[in-house]
């Protein structure tokens, strides 16, 4: 009986999401409550993480397109699990900065390589968008499982122990990829790999530059994903300030479960129509607009209930923009440079994290948290204008 690669991919995405999203829930509280990081340092950690990604993202994508997509994923697991594990063993700003930079490096080996692997090994272009949506749903439901599992584990054993166990499990998941992922349709570059890699990079850049749609997606990604990274580090501060008596792990777990289930339901509605023209564009714009309203609402929220609803809107919608952007770019690229183009997209993400992060960190440090949130909302409005204005009919 043939193996359903779509199901294998979705299960792996589910397990990875369980571990790294649950880990981030506990880590986000660990950074605020245990390590006592102020807003500007939280954002600066994200900026440093993005700087590492910016430097290594394209070389990692070129490596995946010339050597192996599968083994790029194995390396990603090795680095990611190490970064996750060591985070729970340190508390100082510089050691935590180092673990988060290693975490950023780990993602450069996975971004693009995962989508490129399933797109090529599946070898059914018409099925790929539906499989990617299925994987995004798996990521959201895996996130729910991770929030509940690791959030509960943190309550029972303490945050540092939960963080260390999540990192150890991520290392073990890398062994599954090494043993269980086949790679039959990918042809590595023969001898002179670096010249071939630079040729692929040039081809990917030409493809992006020549496409009005890709240029718009890349520009919007710079803004939207910059906001996503920054907002993810800021909203726990706002929630803790509005409800200091509530256990932050319990509250963030509850919010995360609701937002992920809502996101999975939204993707399930979209999945049957994901191949029709305009569906991805409309989904992207709707998700960005919802996130904008949520961030603005959080800045203006007078109490814990209102702030929780605002976070549900913003943090629930922002990951959907990434999902739609990934599928949109995958539809616009070709096999030979697929991982490289996705790595270029991730570079736009890192550039946005650095530029937007430094801007928002400066505003948070000088004017406070609320103006910083207002800046995030303004950046999303700019992204919506770019996509709406440049991806419609010429």
Q: pLDDT tens for residues 25-39?
A: 899 889 888 888 887
Classified as helix, coil or strand, 58 is: helix
Q: Is residue 186 part of a domain?
A: no
> Do residues 100 and 45 touch, judged by C-beta distance below 8 A?
yes
Q: Is residue 39 part of a domain?
A: yes
The rounded distance, in Å, linking the Cα atoms of 166 and 22 is: 8
Q: Is residue 347 part of a domain?
A: yes
The whole-number pLDDT of residue 213 equals 87
Q: Please give the structure tokens belonging to residue 275.
A: 């191949």
> Do residues 242 and 307 touch, judged by C-beta distance below 8 A?
yes
Domain residues for the domain of 292 are: 5-181+192-390
- Alpha helices in the chain, H assignment, sequence order: 5-29, 39-66, 69-87, 93-108, 113-122, 128-157, 159-180, 193-209, 212-242, 248-270, 279-300, 304-332, 338-367, 369-390
Q: pLDDT tens for residues 234-286?
A: 887 787 777 777 777 677 777 778 877 877 787 777 777 776 658 888 889 99
Q: Is residue 165 part of a domain?
A: yes
| DSSP single-letter state for residue 276 | S
Q: pLDDT tens for residues 325-366?
A: 888 888 888 777 777 787 788 888 878 878 887 888 788 878
> Do residues 143 and 256 touch, judged by C-beta distance below 8 A?
yes
Residue whose entry in the numeric block shows the structure tokens 């910059």: 226
Residue whose entry in the numeric block shows the structure tokens 């790029």: 72
The whole-number pLDDT of residue 161 equals 94
Domain count, the chain: 1
The rounded distance, in Å, linking the Cα atoms of 167 and 68 is: 24
> Do residues 120 and 339 touch, judged by C-beta distance below 8 A?
no
Q: Is residue 154 part of a domain?
A: yes
CATH number for the domain including 220?
1.20.1250.20
The rounded distance, in Å, linking the Cα atoms of 164 and 176 is: 19
Q: pLDDT tens for residues 301-313?
A: 888 788 888 888 8
CB neighbours of residue 201 within 10 Å: 20
The rounded distance, in Å, linking the Cα atoms of 268 and 58 is: 32
Q: Is residue 187 part of a domain?
A: no
């Amino acid at each position: 009986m043939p193996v359903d690669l779509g199901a294998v991919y979705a299960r792996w995405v589910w397990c990875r999401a369980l571990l790294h999203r649950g880990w981030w829930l506990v880590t986000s509280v660990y950074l605020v409550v245990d390590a006592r990081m102020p807003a500007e340092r939280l954002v600066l950690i994200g900026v440093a993480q993005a700087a590492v990604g910016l430097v290594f993202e394209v070389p990692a994508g070129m490596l995946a397109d010339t050597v192996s997509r599968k083994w790029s994923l194995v390396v990603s697991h090795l680095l990611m699990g190490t970064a996750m594990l060591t985070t729970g063993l340190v508390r100082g700003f510089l050691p935590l900065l180092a673990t988060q930079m290693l975490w950023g490096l780990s993602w450069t080996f996975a971004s693009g390589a995962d989508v490129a692997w399933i797109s090529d090994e599946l070898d059914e272009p018409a099925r790929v968008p539906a499989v990617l949506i299925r994987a995004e749903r798996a990521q959201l439901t895996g996130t729910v499982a991770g929030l509940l599992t690791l959030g509960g584990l943190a309550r029972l054993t303490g945050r540092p122990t939960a963080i260390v166990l999540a990192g150890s499990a991520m290392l073990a998941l890398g062994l599954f990829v090494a043993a269980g992922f086949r790679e039959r349709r990918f042809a590595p570059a023969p001898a002179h790999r670096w010249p071939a890699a630079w040729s692929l990079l040039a081809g990917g850049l030409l493809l992006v530059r020549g496409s009005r749609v890709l240029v718009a997606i890349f520009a919007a990604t710079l803004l939207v994903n910059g906001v996503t990274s920054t907002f993810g580090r800021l909203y726990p501060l706002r929630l803790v300030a509005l409800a200091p008596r509530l256990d932050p792990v319990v509250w963030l777990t509850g919010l995360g479960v609701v937002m992920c289930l809502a996101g999975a339901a939204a993707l399930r509605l979209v999945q049957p129509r994901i191949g029709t023209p305009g569906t991805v564009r409309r989904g992207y714009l709707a998700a960005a607009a919802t996130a904008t309203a949520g961030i603005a609402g959080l800045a203006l929220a007078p109490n814990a209930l209102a702030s929780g609803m605002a976070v549900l809107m913003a943090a629930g919608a922002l990951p959907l923009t990434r999902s739609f952007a990934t599928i949109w770019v995958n539809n616009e690229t070709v096999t030979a440079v697929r991982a490289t183009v996705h790595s270029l997209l991730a570079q736009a993400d890192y550039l946005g994290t650095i530029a937007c992060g430094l801007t928002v960190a400066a505003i948070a440090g000088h004017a406070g948290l609320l103006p910083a949130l207002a800046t995030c909302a303004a950046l999303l409005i700019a992204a919506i204008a770019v996509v709406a204005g440049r991806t419609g009919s010429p």
